[in-house]
Amino acid sequence: MKVFVVGGSGALGRRVTKLLVEAGHEVRATARTESARAATEAAGATPTHLDIFDPEALGPAVAGQDAVVRLTTRIPPLKTMRRAVAWRETARLRNNSARKIVDACIAAGVGTYVHESVSFMYADGGDAWLDEDSPVDVERAVPLRDAHSGETHARRFTEGGGRGIVLRYAGFYAADSEQSVAMAAMARRQRLAILGASANFFSSIHTDDAASATVAALGAPAGVYNVADGEPLPLHEYLEDLADAAGAPALPHYPALIGPIALGITWRYLRRSQRVSSRRLQEATGWRPAIQCAREGWKRIAEQWAQNPPEAASSRFAALRGMSGR
């Protein structure tokens, strides 16, 4: 299969590109920097420099492809993500760019389009498991509203005769994730805290498993699929496991009312209880997460960080700045 990964230089995109090549696919991936192009070539894929907002450039780029996988996001740094304005570029990628990519794919006769989305959009479900038909609540959180509206392009692709697949990913974490490294540093400096009881379920997925799910989804029927591990943790346990992996002291506890001040718009969905199920994707493709719970995942990351301290990744992240993808 010929597969074009848009956002192939991000944390998820790099992994997806590598797995696709290993599976025997002919892969092209966007790469904006010299280091990204070198890494893409080393993985066995063909790097492509592309303006993903330019319809005239997108048409030739997707022509002849069997599948296009859109993994373009630009998640703001932790210190600014509390502000709605920090999410504008991600909104453009999830909507404006996605619309143009889908238009180009329909015109070129691409068979499959995979669209990156998030599971944070679900309304608070308490202790219940949430599937793809569970209610969403996106009106008061700009990033979630933009993610939800972006999904319409995958549905439009299906209505145009193709196979549009939406993947709602749970929270990513990994030893080489910029956000994981940043949160670890905050925990060690006692700048990461547990707000209130934080007993709500928080669903996550190791980035390695998110990548394998993305590749598996190429064989799924059109539709929406959650991508999460098998055992969501209460938020306070997730944060405590992160702190343990970082070698940080016990996290401080503060009243929940501090949340709106410290976290801004992200508090509106981090405080929700979201016990997300990926059963539909598993039944459709046979995919299973190798890491069933973040408790196990953070232990593995602790071992990796012991060999390669997370601060050492800072220079690599600086080199990857400006690339689209998580």
Confidence class for position 317, pLDDT limits 50, 70, 90: very low
Averaged over 160-173, what is the pLDDT?
A: 97
Write down the pLDDT at residue 265.
63
What confidence tens digit (pLDDT) does each residue in 21-53 have? 999 999 999 998 999 999 999 999 999 999 999
Query: Mapped to the 3 state alphabet, what secondary structure does 181-225 carry?
Result: HHHHHHHHCCCCCEECCCCCEECEEEHHHHHHHHHHHCCCCCEEE
Averaged over 64-86, what is the pLDDT?
A: 79
Percent of the chain with pLDDT over 70: 90
Averaged over 83-95, what is the pLDDT?
A: 78
Averaged over 156-172, what is the pLDDT?
A: 97
Confidence class for position 77, pLDDT limits 50, 70, 90: low
Domain topology for 2-174+204-229+275-290+313-320: Rossmann fold (3.40.50)
Confidence class for position 264, pLDDT limits 50, 70, 90: low
Write down the pLDDT at residue 74.
72
What confidence tens digit (pLDDT) does each residue in 171-195 have? 999 999 999 999 999 999 999 999 9
On the question of pLDDT at 312 being above 80, the answer is no
On the question of pLDDT at 253 being above 70, the answer is yes
Domain ranges of the chain: 2-174+204-229+275-290+313-320
Q: How far is CA 72 from CA 99, 196, 214, 322, in A?
A: 13, 34, 13, 11
Q: Which of 9-13, 212-216, 239-243 has the lowest mean pLDDT?
A: 9-13
Alpha-carbon distance of 107 to 130, in angstroms, equals: 35
Considering only residues 271 and 312, tell me which one the structure prediction assigns the higher pLDDT: 271
Confidence class for position 88, pLDDT limits 50, 70, 90: confident
Interior angle at CA 308, CA 304 and CA 310, nearest 5: 90
Alpha-carbon distance of 111 to 116, in angstroms, equals: 17
On the question of pLDDT at 222 being above 60, the answer is yes
Alpha-carbon distance of 142 to 88, in angstroms, equals: 9
User: Six-digit token pair at 43?
Assistant: 């993985």
Write down the pLDDT at residue 89.
81
Alpha-carbon distance of 86 to 283, in angstroms, equals: 37
Rounded CA Rg of the chain: 19
Confidence class for position 86, pLDDT limits 50, 70, 90: low
Mean pLDDT of the chain: 90
On the question of pLDDT at 143 being above 90, the answer is no
Alpha-carbon distance of 266 to 55, in angstroms, equals: 33
Alpha-carbon distance of 233 to 230, in angstroms, equals: 10
Write down the pLDDT at residue 146.
93
Write down the pLDDT at residue 32.
87
What confidence tens digit (pLDDT) does each residue in 280-305 have? 999 999 999 999 999 999 999 999 99
User: Six-digit token pair at 47?
Assistant: 């790097």
CA atoms 6, 23, 67, 209: torsion sign: negative
On the question of pLDDT at 318 being above 60, the answer is no
